[in-house]
Structure 1
């Protein structure tokens, strides 16, 4: 976490959190003293020690966004939301579904409703809430459901989708399983 922030990232997505204690630890390492333990030495974010004033205001500009990727985090959401200096929350539906016993399913039975229930609790407390989408139609649905941030995919997935669409537009039959080998 420190390396990413010291290189100049404006925030950190904290994966697979389960408890408030884990989120507190992430905040502790993401923030400068007195709110955290992040070092202020010679790194890019303080222009290699020449702009230490950045450390005075850096906490206000460093986002901490826990990823809600498992049922345990969903059950603990109230205590997790009580952790100071958390800025938003983001869901990973596939991992959330896997933790509910539906590995390999984007949202297994009941998982979609559970995610929406937890999202509503997050929104009721005034936090922004995001989620990954599988395609543009799903992304639009997520916005309509009240998610303010929608992830459209990771680099490899975006590249594979673009290549598949291009090959199909050229009249080539593309087996999606080809990309999994």
Structure 2
């Protein structure tokens, strides 16, 4: 049976999209805020609209807000190349310097939710300094406090393993968190 005939096109599978991550140049520990993710997405849409009509047609399948970066699924190599070039050229806010890399290159992160006593009045930096100074082998430079009510922390993979080995508890102020 000829699977290449025009009548059999309906059963062809579309290639898997390539997931690209839009990140600040150098990425870790720099992550993008929700406002920066929105600005980047809008700037990309404007770039697509401003293209001349005789250029290649960019094909995307998804744009997802991840923790600190934007993930965009590109259907083909031309779209991936266009995205890399467009991201390097846009400036969605003053001082923006962005790049598009394969999403598989982004370090794995975890989101931890916990109650940290005496933290409501403290700055994010103070909370992270307390965790850093009261626990061995933690590098909180790459951590981020996400919410101030119950402290949500985005942590790197190495810290994730350490936290797990300590039964998901950290020394904090005069007890455990």
> One fold, TM greater than 0.5?
no
- TM-score, normalisation: structure 1: 0.25
User: Relative contact order, CA 8 A, sep 6+: which one is greater?
Assistant: 2
Bigger proportion of residues as strand: 2
Bigger proportion of residues as helix: 1
- Structure with larger Rg: 2
- TM-score, normalisation: structure 2: 0.26
